[in-house]
Structure formats: C-alpha cells, structure tokens
Amino acid sequence: MRRLEIPAEEPGNVFRATRTLRAYTLFASVMSGLLLWGATAKAEIYLLKKDKPEDWEVSINGRVNAYLSWVHGETVNTGNSGNLTGAGAIDRYVLVGPQIGIRGNPTPTSGTASPVDDKDVSTPRIRGGFASTILAFNIYKQVLPNVKLSVKLAFWAGIQNSLNPNKNNVREFNDSVAVDFREQYMQLEGTWGSTWGGRRIGLFNRGGMRMNWFLIHQHGVGHPCDVDSGGAATCGHTGTGSMFPARHAQLGYATPELAGFQLSVAALDAAMIDTSWNRTPTPRFEAELTYKKTFGEGNELNAWANGLTQQIGRVTEVAPQPGVDGISADAVLNVYGFGGGAWGRFSGFGLGATGWAGDGLGTAWALGNTAVDNIGKLRKHFGYLAAVNYKLGNFEIAASYGGVHVQATDWDNDPNNPQKVSVIKQIRGIGGKLAYHMTPVVFSIDGMNLAYKWHRNETQAANVISAGMLAEW
C-alpha cells in the first residue's frame, strides 16, 4: 500500500501585515502546515495496472471533508496595537507576531467601533479540515531491476470561499475556491536507498507534524488558521506547539532502512525573512533521523530527530543611531533549528511528545516574521506538543497540549527603543477530539482553546469548536 503525503497547511505577521497572514493561510502557507508526509492511504484506485514488469502503473487517492467551525473569543484589534507606552502616553506598542493568529471582524461595543478596545468575535464557518480536499496521482515504473521510479502529483483545495483582494477583502456569495498544486516530485529507490527531486514536504519538524496528524487532527480542524481563511487546509496545532515543515523545492537522499533507522538529508530552496533580509547565499539544509518499529496487531513506535540551517543576508545598510549599532549591507546571519520526539500506539492507546528550538525561526514555520529584530539580532524560539489518543472499536478520543515561546531581544525590551514593539511571548493551545469511524467515512467533533501573550502583557484568547465528516480513499 502506498503512502499519502499530508499536512497542516499548508495552514503572516498577523499583527504586522494582515495581507501576509492571509497569503500564507491561503497556502495555507500556516500554514503547515497542515501537512504530513507519510500518512497511509486507505486504498489506491488504479487507473492503469501493469501487465509486464516494465509497464507503467497509475493510481489515485485522496479525501474530501466538511466541518462547521465556530470561533468565539477575541480577535486582534484593528489597529494591531498593544498597551500604552507609558503613564500619560497616547502612543501604543506595536504588536509583533505571531505568524498564525485569530483575526476576524470585531464586534463593536458601542455605536462607533474602537480600533483598540473592540476585540470580541463570534463567527461560524463551513470549512475543510486539517487537510481539506486532496486528489493525488501516483505513477510508478520499474526502470531497472534495482531501481523503481515513483512520481507524485497532488492537488489540494479548500471548500470555503476566501476573501477577494480585488473586492476590498470581502467574502463573496459566489466566490470560487483556491486550488493548490501542492506536491510535484519524483523519487528513485532501490537497495541503495532513495533520492528525490521536486516539491515535497520539508524534513525539519516533519516528525512532529506526523505526530499531530496521527494522534489528534487527522480527522478534524484544530486551529482554524484564520477566521476568514479560504485555504486548502487548517492548522491543527501549527503555531501552537507544532512547527509547520511546509512544502519546498528540494533535492534529497534517504539511506536504506537499517534495524528501523533511516537518515534523510535534503538541500531546499532558500527562504527570505522579509524585504530587509532577502539575500540567500546558500540553500537551506535539512536532515531527519527516524526510527520505526511495529510489533503485534496495530502496535508501533516512532522516534525522530531533525535539524535545519540556512544563511540569510541583507543588501541595504542600517545606519547607526545613538546607543544602537547599525547593520552593514553585507551582513549575514545563520538561522538554525533542531527538534525531536517520539510517539507510539499500544493496544489502542496512543501517546506522543515532541519539541523544537532554534534561532531565527518563528512561531509556526522557520524564518517567520518574529525571526529577527530591527537591529539584526535573531530571536530565540522553542515549542513543544504532547498528545494522547485512545481507540476502542469504532470510537476514538484524543487530547493535546502545546505551546510556543519567543524570547525578546535586548533591543525589543529597551525602553528607549523608538520602534516601541511588543513581541509575542507565548502561544498556548489545548485540543480535544471525539470521532466515530464508519470506514471510509469518519464523523468527528474537535475543539481548541487558544491563548496568546505578548512581552508587554497584552493578551488574546479564543475557543474553536468544529464538527463534521470526512471520506478518504
């Protein structure tokens, strides 16, 4: 049976640039992704089966789903502003981060909406899940006795309408959905291992996203990415504990599996942080070491360790200011991250935990909008996620707890900082799910409690509950 690559979507600085957030959540993306490589397809429907060993084979697999998802709580105020900058001040701090946050249309508390005080939101959507609609084409050919060629082409799509940027970001009555050509890659494999090229999921935090998928959000929504998201996936725990590996152009190699261990390495198309840090001298390099062992009926153990590194540079100079060093036009920073974890299933009971950390990452994906401060210092990030799952017959119940932390730099905290920023400090997500399996259909209800806190003590809280159904093949 073949394997199907899955998120967290492909689920911006919500507070620095709303358009950036929406672009990523439309990937989205975020992001996140959602989202996972390695989910076993329920079945493959063969369009073409080979008669001779050298013939081509073509199959399809995929999924469709729909959920009523309700977001209730607080949105970010329309001014993207935080607390007052001091006693008697009229200026407010500028909120920085996160990459994925709750943004919707606030409910006015009086006849005139306040861009600062009005934050209440209560919005229902009919949306797709952590991975929404997927149609994947799998193509195989034995090109040599010891070399097999596989090609994967996968289209993803949401079911909900998106905001129309040409109509003042209005969600129109008869809008069309976005279709994302998310996966396009070839792979050659043999006794020597496998090598691939194309666009596929990254290796950094791939294991953590798989855990999120298998233990809780394979059948559900989790974090909706955005109140008005029209993307091809939602976010699960992306941005609230899990980092989205995303999909990237890449070339990679994986060793043969030896006693359950396998090492994968890849060179990926380098990413920019923003228009200030937009020079990419080298590719991004990612690697993951995995271990998998199966024993008995339905029992398994999975463990992993992975990492990422990339250089990022400038092309413009920032002149020194009184008390603040400048940044040279040829400055180069080294972004890095590492992570690991394990999950297993034993007699219907599943349990897992994962964590990650690094410099210049983000709250939801690497090289995000909280990666670097305005004087060129990379911010430190770390995150963690734990999940528990139990299956009894056709019923499944799951719960999860995750968080992301960002360490502000000295420049961020300097009271004389002319930018007056308040950087996101912590994002926490608590999730739960109840599902009933009627193969190939799954009915489920899931929810998530979300809490955000900034370094200047601004806060945001919201609850999401989603219920619907899914069919996959």
Listed as ranges, residues in the chain with pLDDT below 50 are 1-41
Residue 10 has what pLDDT? 35
Q: Strand (E) positions, 269-412? A: 284-294, 300-313, 332-346, 349-359, 380-392, 395-407
Helix H or strand E encompassing 23: helix 18-25
287-322 pLDDT, tens per residue? 999 999 998 888 999 999 999 999 999 999 988 877
Residue among 339, 318, 334, 296 nearest 419 (CA): 318
210 SS3 class: helix
Cβ neighbours of 359 (radius 10 Å): 17
- Give the burial class of 191: count Cβ atoms within 10 A of its Cβ; 0-12 exposed, 13-18 middle, 19 or more buried: exposed
Q: Residue 183 sits in a domain of what CATH number?
A: 2.40.160.10
- Model pLDDT, residue 96: 94
Looking at residue 42, its pLDDT comes to 53
Q: Cα separation of 39 and 183, whole Å?
A: 14
Instruction: Give the chain's domain count.
Output: 1
Domain extent, residue 427, equals: 3-472
pTM attached to this predicted model: 0.88
Q: What are phi and psi of 412, to 5 degrees?
A: -60, -40
CB atoms within 10 A of CB 397: 14
Rounded to 5°, the CA angle 351-42-240 comes to: 40
CA dihedral 283, 340, 433, 366 (to 10 degrees): -30
Q: Which two tokens stand for residue 65?
A: 């789903």
User: What is the identity of the amino acid at 415?
Assistant: P
pLDDT of residue 25: 39
What is the C-alpha to C-alpha distance for residues 76 and 82, in angstroms, rounded to an integer?
10
What pLDDT, on a 0 to 100 scale, did the predictor assign at position 135? 96
φ/ψ of residue 85, rounded to 5: -80, -5
Amino acid present at 371: A
